[in-house]
Structure 1
Amino acid sequence: MITIRVINPNTTASMTDTIRQAAQAVAGPDTRIVATNPSMGPVSIESHYDEALASVGVLDEVRQGEQEGTDGYVLACFGDPGLHAAQELASGSVVGIAQAAFHAASLLGRSFAIVTTLSRTLGRARDLVLEYGFERQCVAYRACEVPVLGLDSDPDGAYRALLAECESTIKDCDPDVIVLGCAGMAGMCKRLCNTLHRPVIDGVAAGVTLVEGLVRMGVGTAKCGEFAETPAKTITGLLAPFTRE
């Protein structure tokens, strides 16, 4: 049995349920999905400040997963908060949903466009595209201007806004693939795909599929160089529980 811990880095439990459903829909019959969210941190992640705070909760969830013998992790926030630190901490593979979505999109067409929630997060999306090496494939960065929590509180209205932005993006840029820029959009992916008549990538599904495959291959993050186990060090103050002996 493979165990994948899918971490929603914000603290909104209803969004974690949406993420759980998307993860379970693509997981193999011998894969157990453990969908969690931290008990501390922001209720939604829409800024650099939010991401910095959420990263601590992500690491706490990875610590818990390591104690439970988790095989791999998916970070279910499009900013991939705390990804590199989590890779240092975890014994298995750790994949962010933006990272996974870009790889999946690149296998399905020559170009993709990102359609996300708020325009203030587009800079972070650009940073990740550059970091992961997909600047040639990504032809558009668009936002439907729906707050993250709006995806949960008004899903019908959010879907209409998201669909309109996807249609506008296709008209303007004609990308082969659409990448959804928020884990909270996971439940809308199949409907969008059927309506738009081209691949639409939900990073949660892409992340679970990728991590599951890596676990079956028997490989994880290289534990040398940059991602070697973090040195033992005393941590003080509020973060004292994160001290590594």
Structure 2
Amino acid sequence: MKLLYINPNSTASMTEAVVRIAREAASGLEIIGWTNEDGPPAIQGPEDGAAAVAGIRKLLPAARDAGVDAIVLACFDDTGLAEIRAAAHCPVIGIGQAAFHLAALLGHRFSVVTTLPVSVPVIEENLSAYGLAGQCARVRASGLAVLEVEAAEAPALARLAEEIAQAEAEDGIAAAILGCAGMAPLARALSAGTRLRLIDGVAAAAHLAPALVRASRSSERA
């Protein structure tokens, strides 16, 4: 089974990190990653998301030609999910969607720790659209820009750990969802400082996308 992670932004180093985490999570799958070179360097809010969609769509014919079985949109805002799903030849899942649903399936009430405040309304709208707003205690903005998170320097790690600790103390939750693709490589380090279960959407999508592929194939045979 072949999964394609599309990074909606144009930062290739983030694509590389996402693919590495996905391969660690699902070692039996063929996982590749493409970067939307027409996208903004980071997606921070709805305007950046809207600017990325055309570039993602341009990659879809090549995805079909490459024999991709499922596409994962590797932006926590699930950038262009409905439009890309409608246009793609295969199942499409977003890393935000995957993280929310995995948390719900595991029975966890959760909070989301994300980047800037501009992303909070997008995430809250997605939770409502997926019918999972009731599972989420709070969407928390760390105040870090996406590329600050991606750089993974000590002050950014400390700030994320602080926000996770506040969520654990205040929100009455069992899990915290890491609300940015750039946080995926930080999950292990951040887990060491909390009793919460940390859920990363990149890994969550690697677990859930194969099930979507199998379900799609079963429905086609029926």
TM range (shorter): over 0.9
Indicate which of 126, 132, 135 corresponds to 2:133.
Answer: 135
Are residues 159 and 221 of structure 1, via their aligned partners in 2, closer, same or farther at CA, if it must alter by over 3 Å? Answer: farther
On the 8 A contact 2:100/2:132 being kept in 1, the answer is yes
* Unpaired stretches in structure 1, ≥5 consecutive residues: 223-245
Once the two structures are superposed, the pairs formed by residues 133-172 of structure 1 within 5 Å of their partners are: 133-172=131-170
SS at match of 1:141: strand
Aligned to 1:227: none
* 1:117 alignment partner in structure 2: 115
Distance 1:219 1:171 in 2: 44
Corresponding residue for 1:195? 193
Distance 1:151 1:131 in 2: 27
RMSD: 1.7
- Cα-to-partner distance string for 1:88-108 (whole Å, 9 max, x where unaligned): 122211001111100011122
Question: How much does 1:217 deviate?
Answer: 4.1
Q: Following TM superposition, by how much is the alpha carbon of 1:82 offset from its aligned partner in structure 2, in angstroms?
A: 1.1
Contact 1:37–1:61, Cα closer than 8 Å, also in 2: no
2:26 matched to 1:27?
yes
1:194–1:182: structure 2 CA closer, same or farther, 3 Å change rule? same
Larger Rg belongs to = 1
> Which residue of 2 is the match for residue 108 of structure 1?
106
Query: What SS does the aligned partner of 1:195 have?
Result: coil
111 and 155 in structure 1: CA distance in 2 versus 1, 3 angstrom threshold: same
Comparing 93-102 with 207-216, which one deviates more in the overlay? 207-216
| Structure 2: distance between partners of 1:49 and 1:25 | 32
Task: Measure, in 2, the Cα distance between the counterparts of 1:221 and 1:159.
Answer: 44
5+ residue gaps, structure 2, are none
| Whole-angstrom distance in 2 between the partners of 1:156 and 1:146 | 12
Could you tell me how far 1:159 is from its partner in structure 2?
Answer: 1.1
The alignment of Structure 1 onto Structure 2 pairs a total of residues equal to: 220
TM-score, L = length of structure 2:
0.93
Alignment-derived partner of residue 17 in structure 1: 16
Moved more, 59-68 or 77-86: 59-68
Quote how far apart the aligned CAs of 1:112 are: 0.6
What is the identity, as a one-letter code, of the residue corresponding to 2:97?
Q
Sequence identity of aligned pairs in percent? 35
Aligned counterparts of 1:85 and 1:221: Cα–Cα separation in 2: 22
Aligned-pair CA distance for 1:38: 1.2
